[in-house]
Amino acid sequence: MFKKNNLGILLLLLISFMLSGCLTAEFKEYVFRINPDGSGNGSIEFINIVSAESEGEDASPEDFEDLISSYIQGNTFETNNPGLEVTSKKIYRAYGVLNGKVEFTFKDFQKIGFYHYQRSKQAPIMFYLGSLSEIYYESNGEYIGGEEEKYEIPMLVWAPGTSEFTFTTQLQNDMTNTHSLLDSYNEWNEGEHK
């Protein structure tokens, strides 16, 4: 009986995985403000949150439900980012697309992807983009990754003494097989405020 139940659960998980699409966004905008002691706060904004098709099928209703239950009301973001203490999460409409914003604090900037050699006042502060699996777009720092990322280290560098670090990455550059979640958001938002 135990094996039969496990097989049923596995089959349900497999079917739900196959029927769901993929939540993604066109861009992510990162802001980090670092205090002299290494702690700080920041935000990540997800610009144009969409549902990418799964095997040619529109799974936007399921993906919107996942966005609400797992990310906004759930703790998926927190689980995936253990060095960040989330202070607020929201989704909102701006410029005709659905966006999301997570605000957070952190205790040590070197535990969330930054590197500062011996915390020397003369050393630049760096952030390794390679762990994000995202495409560099722009920053208030210097991108030293080069055009051919397979040959270079995708790294951002800021001058010593910088306290605010911003950069934008691109997650989805081909939007042809994606579906907006804005209509689902509008329905959900109207239901929340009745």
- Per-residue pLDDT reduced to its tens digit, 45-62: 999 999 998 788 899 999
Which residue is it, tokens 């560099």? Answer: 136
Residue 55: CB atoms within 10 Å: 8
pLDDT mean over 21-41: 94
**Model pLDDT, residue 31:** 98
pLDDT mean over 19-43: 90
**Model pLDDT, residue 40:** 98
Spatial separation of the C-alpha atoms in residues 73 and 57, rounded to whole Å: 26
pTM, to two decimals: 0.84
- Per-residue pLDDT reduced to its tens digit, 53-101: 878 889 999 999 999 999 999 999 999 999 999 999 999 999 999 999 9
pLDDT mean over 13-25: 56
State how far the alpha carbon of 126 is from the alpha carbons of 65, 95, 192, in Å: 36, 32, 42
Structure tokens at 35: 């205090």
First to last CA, the chain: 46
Which residue is it, tokens 């706060």? Answer: 41
Spatial separation of the C-alpha atoms in residues 99 and 86, rounded to whole Å: 17
Q: What is the DSSP letter of 69?
A: I
Spatial separation of the C-alpha atoms in residues 21 and 133, rounded to whole Å: 19
Domain boundaries, the chain: 22-192
- Per-residue pLDDT reduced to its tens digit, 112-153: 999 998 878 889 999 998 878 899 999 999 998 866 656 678
**Model pLDDT, residue 120:** 84
